[in-house]
Chain A
Amino acid sequence: MPVMSYIDAVTLALKEEMERDSKVFVLGEDVGVRGGVFRATVGLYEQFGEDRVLDTPLTESAIVGVAIGAAAYGLRPVAEMQFADFIMPAVNQIISEASKLRYRSNGNWECPLVIRAPYGGGVHGALYHSQSVEKIFTGVPGLKIVMPASPYDVKGLLKAAIRDNDPVLFFEHKRCYRAIKEEVPLEDYTVPIGKAAVKREGTDVTVISYGLTLHYSLEAAKSLEQEGIDVHVLDLRTLVPLDKEAILEATAKTGKVLIIHEDNKTGGFAGEVASVIAEEAFFELDAPIRRLCGPDVPAMPYSPILEKEFMLTPEKIATAIRELAEF
C-alpha cells in the first residue's frame, strides 16, 4: 500500500471516480491545463480532456451555479473553489439554490454536487487565503459538510461525496496538503459521510476536533503521556450530518471534553458540539465543557508574529488539556 500525501489522495479519488462514472466532471479556476493552483487536479486534463476538466472564467458564483444546473440535469459535477475564502460570491448559489433544490421541489429535483475548497491557515496566506468558513454553512440544512484530516479519509470521503445525491461541501485543510502522509489503498473504497472516528483511546480528557487541529491534538496527547495524562481523541470527519452517538460515547469515556477548531470561537461549530453534550450527556460530565478555537478577530494576518498568535499549536492544545485534566 503506497504512502501518499493528503493532496495526492484528493487527486486519486477524482481520477478513480471519473474513470468509474462518465457523469463525473470537474470545473473551476485553473483546474485544467494547470492542474489546479495546488495541483489537486494534476493529470486529469490529460486523461479526461478539456470538457470534463473544465477551466472556467474567474467567477465563483458561475462555477457553483453552472454545477448546480448540470447536477440537476443528472451529472455529478465536482466544483473547485480555488480558496475557501473565495467561496463568498457563491454563497447565494450554495444556500439559496443547492441546499434547497430538493426541498423546494418536494423531492422532484436533486443536486448531486461536490464543492471542494482548500481552507485554513498557517501557510502565510494572510486574511484572504487562510480562513475557515465552515460555520457559514453548518446551520444550513440540505448541505453536507465534510472536513477530513487524513489521506485515507480524504480518498474515501471524497468518493462517497461524489456518489452522494445531495450537495456536499468538502473542505480540505491547506496545511495538511503536503504535511500529512499515510498509507492509502489503491483499491476502490469509500468512507461513510456522517461517521466520526476515534483516533486515540484515553481515559482522562476527551478532545473532539477535525482538520489540522486534529493532528495537533494527537501531537499534544502524545506529549502529555509522560505527564500521565491519558487523552481520548475523536476526529469528527463530517460536521453535517453530525455523528452525535460518537460524541456522546467519547464524552462518556472521560467526562471532560475539550472541543478544538481553527475557525473562530463565537458561532463556531464547537458551540454546536458543546450543546449536544450539554443536552444529552450532562450527567456524564466531571468538568465544564471547554472550547479552544481561533480567536474572534476578522481573519488571520500576514505578519508571521500575528499569524503564529492566531494559529493553534500542539503546545497551546497541551496547555488546555492539562488545565482540564487538573479540574
Chain B
Amino acid sequence: MSELKHTALGLTDDQVLEMYRYMLLARKIDERMWLLNRAGKIPFVISCQGQEGIQVGAAFALDREKDWLCPYYRDLGMVLAFGQTARDNMLSAFAKKEDPNSGGRQMPGHYGDHRYRILSGSSPVTTQVLHAVGIAYAGKLEKKDHVVLTTCGEGSSNQGDWHEACNFAGVHNLPVIFMVENNKYAISVPLTKQVAGGDIAARAKGYGFPGVKVDGNNPLEVYQAVKEAAERARSGQGPTLIEAVSYRLVPHSSDDDDRTYRSSEEVEEARKVDSLVVFKKYLMDHELLTEEKDQEIVAKIMQEINEATEYAEKASYPAPEDLYKHVYA
C-alpha cells in the first residue's frame, strides 16, 4: 500500500474504520451467499470479492445523501455504504417478496433502491452507463448539483453503450464519474484479450476528459480519485474516467469454475494484496485497529448476517398473482 494517509485526505479515524467495516460486511455477506448456494438454499451468487476496497472507497467519496449510483452486479460494498443492509441483500438472495431491489424478481446483485438513489439495473452490461448520463442531464435541467457514479467491469467497457455514454457526457460536460472496476477477467477471458492496449483509463483522452488509473486494492487511493472526480463534476468541469485495478478472487458466479482458465497460484498471489488484507494492515500500522478489535467487528457483522439470513429464509415469497403486477402503471 502506498504512503497515502487518510488524515491527509480529510478522513477521520472513525471514517476509515467505518470503511473497513463496510468492506468486511460486504465480504462476509458474499461468503455467506456462497455457503447458502453450495447448501442448495439459494440458486445463484455473483460476487464482490476482491473489489470491496474500490466500492467502499468510491462510495465514501460521494455525498451519500444526494448523489446517485448506477452500479453493476458486483457492487455489494457500494450499495451497503449507500444504505442497504445485510437483511436487504439476504432477502434478495432468497428471492423474497420484501427484497427492496426487485421484490424477488431479479437475480441477486441486480441492485435498485429508490431510497438511496440507486437506479435499478439489468443483466445486459453497460446499459446503466447511459442511464447515469441521463440522470446527470436531468440534474443539469433541474439545476441540481448531484453527481452520478456508474460502474462496470473492464470487459464491459468494450460495449458500444459505454463508448456512447462517455462521448455524450463529454460533449455535454455532465457530472458523471465512469468507474471501471478492472478485476482482470470477464468470466474466463483475461484483460489482454479484452482491452486493446490494456489501458482503459487512456481511453478518456478521446472523450476530452481526464482518465486516471488507481490501485483498487487501496481504498484510500480510490477515495482520493473519486473525491477529485466528484469535485470536478459538481463544479461544472464534467466527467472523469477512473480505472480501479484489483482482482476477482472467486469464479465469475456460482455457476462458473475458474480452475478451467486460471491457476490457483495466480489467485493465491492476488489474495495477498486483497484490499481487506492491505487495509487491515494499514489500520493496524496506524494503531487504529488491533486483532482483538478486529475480532469484535467480525463478530458483530456475523451476528448481523446470521439474523439477516434467518429473517430472509423465513420471509414470505411473492404470491403467484404478484407475477402480473407492475407491467404498466
A residues in contact (CB < 8 Å) with B: 25, 51-52, 54, 56-57, 59, 61-62, 64-75, 77, 89, 92-93, 96-97, 100-110, 141-142, 144, 164-166, 241
Cα distance A39–B168 in the bound complex, in angstroms: 24
Does A65 contact B131, Cβ atoms closer than 8 Å? Answer: yes
Find chain B residues with CB under 8 A from A66 CB.
130-131, 133-134, 137, 165, 168
Q: Can you name 16 A-B pairs with beta carbons within 8 Å?
A: A54-B137, A57-B171, A59-B168, A61-B160, A66-B165, A66-B168, A70-B135, A70-B137, A70-B138, A73-B134, A104-B102, A105-B112, A106-B102, A106-B104, A106-B105, A108-B100
Cα distance A129–B137 in the bound complex, in angstroms: 30
Cα distance A73–B68 in the bound complex, in angstroms: 10
Find chain A residues with CB under 8 A from B102 CB.
104-106
Find chain A residues with CB under 8 A from B131 CB.
65-66, 68-69, 72, 97
**In the complex, B328 has a CB within 8 A of chain A:** yes
**In the complex, B119 has a CB within 8 A of chain A:** yes
Please give me the 4 A-B residue pairs with the lowest Cβ-Cβ distance, nearest first: A69-B134, A65-B130, A106-B103, A69-B131
Q: How far is the CB of A242 from chain B (nearest CB, A)?
A: 13
Cα distance A81–B35 in the bound complex, in angstroms: 48
Does A65 contact B327, Cβ atoms closer than 8 Å? Answer: no
Please provide the chain B residues from 98 to 114 with a CB less than 8 Å away from any CB of chain A in the complex: 99-106, 110, 112-114
Does A93 contact B134, Cβ atoms closer than 8 Å? Answer: no
Find chain B residues with CB under 8 A from A97 CB.
122, 127, 131
Q: How far is the CB of A234 from chain B (nearest CB, A)?
A: 23
Our pick among A51, A56, A92, A107 for the contact of B141 (Cβ within 8 Å) is: A51
Does A57 contact B326, Cβ atoms closer than 8 Å? Answer: no
Nearest B residue to A64 via CB reads B130
Please provide the chain B residues from 131 to 151 with a CB less than 8 Å away from any CB of chain A in the complex: 131-142
**In the complex, B231 has a CB within 8 A of chain A:** no
Find chain B residues with CB under 8 A from A56 CB.
168
Does A51 contact B329, Cβ atoms closer than 8 Å? Answer: no
Nearest A residue to B127 via CB reads A97
Find chain B residues with CB under 8 A from A166 CB.
328-329
Does B134 contact A102, Cβ atoms closer than 8 Å? Answer: no
Cα distance A20–B123 in the bound complex, in angstroms: 37
Nearest B residue to A93 via CB reads B127
Q: How far is the CB of B65 from chain A (nearest CB, A)?
A: 16
Our pick among A59, A74, A104, A241 for the contact of B120 (Cβ within 8 Å) is: A104
Does B106 contact A104, Cβ atoms closer than 8 Å? Answer: yes
Nearest A residue to B120 via CB reads A105
Does B168 contact A107, Cβ atoms closer than 8 Å? Answer: no
Does B138 contact A65, Cβ atoms closer than 8 Å? Answer: no
Q: How far is the CB of B187 from chain A (nearest CB, A)?
A: 19
Does B326 contact A62, Cβ atoms closer than 8 Å? Answer: no
Does A69 contact B122, Cβ atoms closer than 8 Å? Answer: no
**In the complex, B199 has a CB within 8 A of chain A:** no
Find chain B residues with CB under 8 A from A142 CB.
327-328
Cα distance A23–B253 in the bound complex, in angstroms: 41
Question: Given A57-B171, A71-B134, A141-B327, are A109 and B161 neighbors across the interface (CB < 8 Å)?
Answer: no
Does B122 contact A25, Cβ atoms closer than 8 Å? Answer: no
Cα distance A107–B325 in the bound complex, in angstroms: 8
Does A100 contact B122, Cβ atoms closer than 8 Å? Answer: yes
Question: Given A65-B130, A108-B112, A142-B327, are A51 and B106 neighbors across the interface (CB < 8 Å)?
Answer: no
Q: How far is the CB of B120 from chain A (nearest CB, A)?
A: 4
Q: How far is the CB of A106 from chain B (nearest CB, A)?
A: 3
Question: Given A104-B105, A142-B327, are A68 and B124 neighbors across the interface (CB < 8 Å)?
Answer: no
Cα distance A110–B114 in the bound complex, in angstroms: 11
Cα distance A75–B119 in the bound complex, in angstroms: 15
Does A57 contact B168, Cβ atoms closer than 8 Å? Answer: yes
Find chain A residues with CB under 8 A from B168 CB.
56-57, 59, 62, 66
Does B134 contact A65, Cβ atoms closer than 8 Å? Answer: yes
Cα distance A56–B328 in the bound complex, in angstroms: 29
